[in-house]
């Protein structure tokens, strides 16, 4: 006898359902992403796709990063992409608008992601694939969060880590339809 519960607890067969209705976040929740120029537009496009699934409506992108609509899919049309040469002025403006500036980076005082309580208005700042978040940007953050790893390499890919953080924000504010 298996110690695992029945597949769905009802002894009914599971059926695949595509395109269930999307869930919504409370109206006071707003999450924006702030990204530096990344090495890979594939990573940026994957982040955009995850962001769209997570209810993000705006991404600030440093430099000239481009979204590939074949990767980002519907998110390429539903997210407003704002390109900026420099990110510190963007962060200062977001702070004035009431956003909590949360860096996704391993730092000397970072909080493990599952111990962090996201504020309803959050700007998630991600780092460059190789160099992370610059010192100039780190100084502007309200908090830094990290995702623990249990093996090597020492950190997740930027698109993977961003997806985890987006999911955690949504999990904290999820309201069933």
Task: Give the number of other CB atoms < 10 A from CB of residue 135.
Answer: 7
Give the residue from 105, 146, 108, 94 showing the smallest Cα distance to 128.
105
Residue 112 has pLDDT above 90, yes or no: yes
Collapsing DSSP states into helix, strand and coil, what is residue 158?
helix
* pLDDT tier for residue 12 given thresholds of 50, 70 and 90: confident
- Please tell me the distance from the alpha carbon of residue 79 to that of residue 75, in angstroms, as a whole number: 6
- Domain total of the chain: 1
* pLDDT tier for residue 138 given thresholds of 50, 70 and 90: very high
- Please tell me the distance from the alpha carbon of residue 90 to that of residue 137, in angstroms, as a whole number: 10
Residue 77: domain span: 30-173
- Please tell me the distance from the alpha carbon of residue 155 to that of residue 65, in angstroms, as a whole number: 22
On average, the pLDDT of the chain sits at 93
Residue 2 has pLDDT above 80, yes or no: no
Could you tell me if residue 11 is inside a domain?
A: no
* pLDDT tier for residue 176 given thresholds of 50, 70 and 90: confident
**pTM of the predicted model as reported, rounded to 2 decimal places:** 0.91
Contact (Cβ atoms closer than 8 angstroms) between residue 58 and residue 80: yes
- Please tell me the distance from the alpha carbon of residue 118 to that of residue 26, in angstroms, as a whole number: 13
pLDDT for res 22? 87
- Say which residues have a Cβ less than 8 Å from residue 45's Cβ, sequence separation at least 6: 67, 68, 71, 72, 76
Could you tell me if residue 21 is inside a domain?
A: no
The mean pLDDT of 13-19, rounded to a whole number, is: 89
Could you tell me if residue 12 is inside a domain?
A: no
Could you tell me if residue 16 is inside a domain?
A: no
Residue 6 has pLDDT above 60, yes or no: no
pLDDT for res 19? 86
User: What pLDDT, in 10s, does the model give residues 47-83?
Assistant: 999 999 999 999 999 999 999 999 999 999 999 999 9
Could you tell me if residue 7 is inside a domain?
A: no
- Please tell me the distance from the alpha carbon of residue 116 to that of residue 106, in angstroms, as a whole number: 14
- Please tell me the distance from the alpha carbon of residue 123 to that of residue 100, in angstroms, as a whole number: 6
pLDDT for res 5? 59
User: What pLDDT, in 10s, does the model give residues 29-39?
Assistant: 999 999 999 99
> What are the φ/ψ torsions at residue 69 (nearest 5 degrees)?
-65, -20
pLDDT for res 130? 94
- CATH of residue 70: 3.40.1280.10
Contact (Cβ atoms closer than 8 angstroms) between residue 135 and residue 90: no
Could you tell me if residue 45 is inside a domain?
A: yes
* pLDDT tier for residue 24 given thresholds of 50, 70 and 90: confident
For 44, the token pair is: 């940026």
pLDDT for res 133? 98
Could you tell me if residue 19 is inside a domain?
A: no
Could you tell me if residue 18 is inside a domain?
A: no
């Amino acid at each position: 006898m298996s110690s695992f519960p029945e597949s769905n607890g009802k002894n009914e067969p599971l059926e695949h359902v595509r395109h269930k209705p999307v869930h919504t976040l409370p109206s006071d929740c707003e999450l924006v992403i702030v990204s530096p120029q990344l090495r890979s537009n594939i990573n940026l496009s994957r982040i955009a796709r995850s962001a769209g699934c997570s209810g993000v409506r705006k991404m600030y992108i440093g430099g000239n990063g481009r979204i590939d609509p074949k990767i980002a899919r519907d998110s390429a049309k539903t997210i407003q992409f704002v390109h900026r040469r420099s990110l510190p002025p963007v962060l200062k403006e977001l702070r004035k608008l009431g956003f909590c500036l949360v860096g996704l980076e391993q730092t000397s005082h970072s909080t493990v992601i599952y111990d962090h309580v996201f504020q309803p208005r959050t700007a998630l700042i991600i780092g460059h694939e190789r160099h992370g978040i610059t010192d100039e940007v780190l100084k502007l953050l309200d908090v830094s969060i990290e995702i623990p790893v249990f093996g090597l390499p020492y950190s997740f890919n930027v698109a993977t880590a961003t997806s985890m953080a987006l999911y955690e924000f949504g999990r904290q504010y999820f309201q069933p339809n």
